[in-house]
Amino acid sequence: MAKLTKNYKEAVAKFDKNKLYSLTEAVELVKEISYANFDASVDLDIRLGVDPRKANQMVRGSVTLPHGTGKDLKVLVLCTPDKEDEAKAAGADYVGLDDFVDKIKKGWTDIDVVITMPSVMPKVGALGRILGPRGLMPNPKTGTVTMEVGKAVEAAKAGKIDFKVDKYGIIHSAVAKLSFDNQKIIENASELINTIIKLKPSSAKGTYMHSIYISSTMSPGVQIDQKSITA
């Protein structure tokens, strides 16, 4: 722990916590102040001026990152037998229905994305208490409840991510790996930020996007100047 503390202090000393950095500068800084001995995720934390307790101010959606997330996602498709071949051909890691529903009820959640069909949602809905808190619950708004399960699997494997504002009005999302070159991180981050900007609820008043921080898994957060985000 002492080593981590020392590294963290050294990292914080390399930048001004009160300064707004351009996205390009922030990405360079995050790489400089990251001390993880593994390929850490690059994360965005975006604080919005919305009240997520109000249904008309909920911000959620999905976006396909230009360069993917760098993570090999494990995709589960819960579907009827006639859709199983389509899901497997698209690259799904697990395909089935009742067996996987029972497995999840017993606590299995070693998956990153769950895709299903409207006709089997009554069975999948029973898993809400398990999948919901883990951000795995399928939703039509994010394209994970669909008849086109093959296309949904391909999108997930290509770098599609789902996001949702939490109860504090913050969206947390991984957008890349630290090993990505700077331009790829910048383009992925810009894609997510611009998507969230487009989803501004009409009922949200005042400042919509209060702050944007970028960090790696084990680094401090660097605040981004929103004016540096290109559409």
Which among 144, 109, 138, 110 is positioned nearest to 124, based on CA atoms?
138
The pLDDT assigned to 3 comes to 56
What would the pLDDT profile of 21-79 be if each residue is shown by its tens digit? 999 999 999 999 988 888 999 999 999 999 999 999 999 888 999 999 898 889 999 99
pTM over 0.75: yes
Do 79 and 154 fall into the same domain? yes
In 13-136, where does DSSP find H-type helix? 23-32, 84-89, 98-105, 121-125, 128-131
What would the pLDDT profile of 91-123 be if each residue is shown by its tens digit? 999 999 999 999 999 999 999 999 999 999 999
* Position 26 in a domain: yes
Number of domains in the chain: 2
Domain containing residue 151: 75-158
Hey, what are 58's tokens? 């909920």
Do 101 and 26 fall into the same domain? no
Do 167 and 192 fall into the same domain? yes
Four-CA torsion 189, 70, 218, 51, nearest 10 degrees: 40
CATH code: domain of residue 127: 3.40.50.790
CATH code: domain of residue 202: 3.30.190.20
Question: To which residue do tokens 């997510």 refer?
Answer: 192
* Position 8 in a domain: no
Do 97 and 62 fall into the same domain? no
* Position 101 in a domain: yes
What would the pLDDT profile of 159-169 be if each residue is shown by its tens digit? 888 899 999 99
